[in-house]
């Protein structure tokens, strides 16, 4: 039994971490961290925990919590953890961070995309990127795990099978993505009010969305021919994508539709060939489901689950391919991935507490 502390438990991501861990037989929750809601019972803020977790949420002293915890899962705002985390804390407790603070290896990218100078570049280089399907071996030994973003998780997993094989031109990748409103977090914002999002769809974050840097890093780092390429940035390939996210009027879910030109040597590829590539990619990836024949994924079939559905459809007339993916942004895109990382790091069954299938309707 390990002791796990959750920081940011009152937010969407943190509360999902708590909900999932409630069914984990090898975990006990020893700290419920919050900021603006500190001092009130968690069940007062989140009614789904009434009679299950009535613990008082507290502001957190990270040094003290690290002494008392085997693992700290942080669902905190960007920049928060980067400013207070130290090597000593990381030595004492495994950190799984849901923010972007330790995802990008190039600290200058934080200035470009997050508009702050990274205060902890040394720890940034020590962090391990926590996309389990690609970086499993490194995760099992890591004490600082950077949980992937939601858009990057879905985009990376649906594009990488063809990119690793050189089947598509990396300079031609265009990603059209759509997300439910929970991706913006639980804090009150004018643009996220019901009347602002209901009966409407809009593009946002054009050209410079924060997740562009993370997606490009993933595709550059992991697009080698070797399926289990290291997370080291020594062989980083410079890839540039066009990424346009959209906000849609639903609570949760991400749908990615990506486009790329076929490489010259693969213009005669068949749909069956593409399916074979995806089938091989999905081997031993228990939460990645390939929909054969270019069937389009749907968010309703992954809602509330840790699964990601991916597929690709050949556009032979235009010598292009359409790559698609769907995830629940709060589960596989956040909390579920964090628990998957925890399971790998502590030697539990990878799917423990994550085996629920999608909620429907």
Contact of 331 with 271, CB cutoff 8 Å: no
Beta bridge partners of 325: 256, 310
Instruction: Write the CB contacts of 297 (distance below 8 Å, at least 6 apart in sequence).
Output: 255, 291, 309, 310, 311, 324, 325, 326
pLDDT score for 247:
95
Show me where the domains of the chain are located: 2-126, 151-329
Local structure of 32: helix, strand or coil: strand
Top CATH class of 2-126 equals: alpha beta
Phi-psi region of 349 (alpha: psi -120 to 50; beta: other; left: phi over 0): beta
pLDDT at residue 292 in the model: 96
Q: At what angle do helices 150-164 and 132-139 cross, to 10 degrees?
A: 100
User: What span, in angstroms and rounded, lies between the C-alpha atoms of 161 and 225?
Assistant: 10
Q: What is the DSSP secondary-structure string of 115-139?
A: SS--S-HHHHHH-EE--HHHHHHHH
HSE of 345 in the Cβ direction (CA atoms, 13 Å)? 27
Task: Using alpha carbons only, give the angle 141, 147, 149 rounded to the nearest 5 degrees.
Answer: 150
Can 150 be counted among the known catalytic residues? yes
CB within 8 A of 330, min separation 6: which ones? Answer: 12, 13, 16, 182, 252, 336
pLDDT at 190: 84
pLDDT at 233: 47
Tell me the CATH class for 151-329.
Answer: alpha beta
Q: DSSP alpha helices (H): ranges in 5-146? A: 12-21, 42-45, 62-68, 80-84, 87-92, 108-113, 121-126, 132-139
**What single-letter DSSP state applies at residue 56?**
B
pTM for the structure as a whole:
0.95
Could you say which of 71, 132, 150, 154 is catalytic?
150
The DSSP line for 311-347 is EEEEETTTTEEEEEEEE-TTIIIIIHHHHHHHHHHTT
Q: What is the DSSP letter of 75?
A: -
Q: Mean pLDDT per 10-residue run, the chain (361 residues)?
A: 97 97 97 93 96 93 96 96 96 98 97 95 96 97 98 98 97 97 83 88 93 97 62 68 96 97 98 98 97 97 98 98 98 98 98 97 92
């Amino acid at each position: 039994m390990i002791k796990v502390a959750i920081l940011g438990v009152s937010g969407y991501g943190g509360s999902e971490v708590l909900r999932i861990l409630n069914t984990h037989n090898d975990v006990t929750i020893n700290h419920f961290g919050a900021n603006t809601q500190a001092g009130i019972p968690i069940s007062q803020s989140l009614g789904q925990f009434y009679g299950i977790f009535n613990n008082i949420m507290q502001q957190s002293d990270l040094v003290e919590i690290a002494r008392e915890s085997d693992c700290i899962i942080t669902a905190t705002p960007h920049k928060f953890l980067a400013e207070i985390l130290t090597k000593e804390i990381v030595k004492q407790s495994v950190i799984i961070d849901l923010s972007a603070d330790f995802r990008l290896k190039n600290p200058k990218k934080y200035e470009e995309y997050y508009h702050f100078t990274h205060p902890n570049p040394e720890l940034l280089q020590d962090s391990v990127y926590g996309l389990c399907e690609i970086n499993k071996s490194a995760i099992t030994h890591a004490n600082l795990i950077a949980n992937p973003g939601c858009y990057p998780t879905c985009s990376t997993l649906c594009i990488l099978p063809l990119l690793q094989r050189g089947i598509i031109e990396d300079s031609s990748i265009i990603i059209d993505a759509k997300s439910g409103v929970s991706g913006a977090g639980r804090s009150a914002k004018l643009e996220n009010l019901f009347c602002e999002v209901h009966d409407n769809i809009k593009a946002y974050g054009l050209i410079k969305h924060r997740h562009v840097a993370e997606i490009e890093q993933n595709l550059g780092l992991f697009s080698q021919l070797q399926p289990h390429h290291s997370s080291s940035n020594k062989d980083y390939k410079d890839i540039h994508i066009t990424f346009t996210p959209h906000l849609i009027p639903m609570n949760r879910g991400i749908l990615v539709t990506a486009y790329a030109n076929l490489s010259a040597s693969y213009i005669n590829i068949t749909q069956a060939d593409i399916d074979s590539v995806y089938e091989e990619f999905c081997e031993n990836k228990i939460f990645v489901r390939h929909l054969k024949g270019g069937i389009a994924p749907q968010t309703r079939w992954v809602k509330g689950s840790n699964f990601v559905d991916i597929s690709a459809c050949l556009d032979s007339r235009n010598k292009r391919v359409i790559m698609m993916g769907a995830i629940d942004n709060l589960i596989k895109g956040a909390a579920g991935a964090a628990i998957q990382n925890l399971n790998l790091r502590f030697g539990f069954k990878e799917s423990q507490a994550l085996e629920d299938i999608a909620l429907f309707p």
